[in-house]
Structure formats: structure tokens, C-alpha cells
Amino acid sequence: MKEKTVTEAINYRRSVRVYSDDPLDDAIVKQCLVNASLAPTSSNLQLWEFHHITDKTVLQKIATACMSQSAAKTANQLVVVVTRKDTWRKKAQANVAHFDRVFKQPEMQKDMHRKKMVVNYYQKLIPTLYADFLGIFGAIKYWVFQLVGLYRPVYRQTRWSDIRVVAHKSAALAAQNFMISMAAVGYDTCPMEGSDTLRIKKILNLPKGSEINMVIGCGIRKPEGVYGERFRVPFEEVYSKH
């Protein structure tokens, strides 16, 4: 089957809630998850995980945790997108190690000033934004940054809740990459928020610091799996040109 263009895939993608028994190719779904991992991510920290569920027993448990909604219950496979804000130190270190390798290349030796900027970003700025203790540091940083903001533009999303939102935004971008990639090869998906996230964390043995971003049902659509024609408010209502 010829792979769809981006526009074709976006138009084909619908939230499918009833799937056929037709199997999915695990390798193709995995490649779509590789595409997900290439999504934009704040500070390239990649605070996400993708749990590809194919085991029938685990599928049933997670479907139950998703309130037994049909998009989960009839899915051939499931993908659980997880945010891992708690891994920011490890991911920052990975970025520093990457740039250490990059700047060892002969053609990069003359750009050591840039290397210093990058290393300072991950070793000083990222800890300033992400380090917290019971929300106390975040509150202090918030008010300090608000005061600085009276005099110049400044980043204001410094509280624990703000950084949490940042992690979920990046994970959602990755999830969209995945769903469009699935649509491009003729596979269907449905992102679900209606779930008992604590139960899902226990099923997948996820650590306390993780959070469920969304559960995505995967399969081949049945005709009745798409609930009606697509509806969007007029584009002019949500579009502004400045």
C-alpha cells in the first residue's frame, strides 16, 4: 500500500472507537513510535516514554482501566504515552554527553564558545527551572521571575505545575506524530483521556514520578467505528493574522 502524504494522513485520521479483528504489524507500529520520538520537545529533554501493549492479558487490564470504552476494548494494540518529568537530570546529562561528542569533531573545534553556552544551558539553566522541593523552590522562582519581568522579557513558567504542563505538551506532540504516522500507513487510532491513570501505572509498574499523558487505541477501523462526519468550527473563528 502506498503511504499517504502528510495532508492525506491528517484528513484520513479520525478517532476510531470500534476496531475490526484484523491484526496490526508490530514492527510497523514500533516504527510509528520511532517517528513519535522525533517530535519537538522542550529543551530536547524528551521527558516521555511509549509503552507498546500487545499482550492480550495486559490489553484487557488496561481496557478495563479505560472504563471499558470500546476504543480500548476492541483495540488490537494500545500505546500508553507517559511523561517522565522525574528523569530531567538524566536527560540533561545525555544532552551534555551528546554535545561533548559533537564538539570533538575537528570542524567543530573552532566553535567552543557555542559548546560552553550549550553546556551551561543544561548544567545551570535546566536545574534552575526543573529542580524543586515540595513546590517551595518553584514558588520562590515564580515570584523572582515575576519581579524580573517588570523590567524585561523573562520566562515565567517556573512552578512545578508549569513544568508539568511543559512535559505533557511535549508528550502530546509525540502522540500526534505517532497517530499521523499510523494514519499514513492505513492504521487507525483513538487518543483517550478517560482512564484510571493510577491503575494503569500499577499495571505497567511505572514509578511514582511518572504520569499518564494518554492511552491510544490502535487497530483497523470498522465502518461504525467512526462516529459521524468530522465537525470543526469555522476556521475563521480560530485564525488571526497579525
Contact 219, 188 (CB under 8 A): yes
Alpha carbon of residue 215 to chain centroid: 11
With cell 483521556, the residue in question is: 193
Is the pLDDT reported for residue 238 higher than 80? yes
Angle at 105 between CA 103 and CA 106, to 5 degrees: 115
Provide the residue count of the chain: 242
pLDDT at residue 12 in the model: 97
The whole-number average pLDDT for the span 208-230 is: 96
CA triple 78-82-86, angle to 5 deg: 160
CA of residue 136 relative to chain centroid, distance: 27
Q: Are 10 and 189 in contact (CB under 8 A)?
A: no
Distances (CA, A) of 137 to 19, 87, 129, 132, 156: 47, 18, 9, 5, 14
Q: Which helix (H) or strand (E) holds 217?
A: strand 211-219
pLDDT at 60 over 90: yes
Write out the three cell numbers for 188.
Answer: 487507525
Q: What domains are defined for the chain?
A: 6-85+164-225 (3.40.109.10), 88-161 (no CATH)
pLDDT tens per residue, range 82-120 = 999 999 999 999 999 999 998 888 777 777 778 889 999
Mean pLDDT, residues 209-235 taken together: 96
Q: Please report the pLDDT score of residue 232 as a whole number.
A: 95
- From residue 76, alpha-carbon distances to 7, 17, 58, 66 in Å are 25, 12, 12, 15
C-beta atoms surrounding 161 within 10 Å = 10
For residue 242, give the 3-state DSSP assignment. Answer: coil
Rounded Cα gap, residues 22 and 187, in angstroms: 10
Percent of the chain with pLDDT over 70: 100
150-168, pLDDT tens digit by residue? 899 988 888 888 899 999 9
Check pLDDT > 90 for residue 142: no
pLDDT computed for residue 114 by the predictor? 84
Q: How far is CA 186 from CA 24, 147, 154, 193, 211, in A?
A: 10, 52, 44, 23, 29
Confidence of residue 139 (pLDDT cuts 50, 70, 90): confident
83 within 8 A of 171, measured Cβ to Cβ: yes
pLDDT at 95: 96
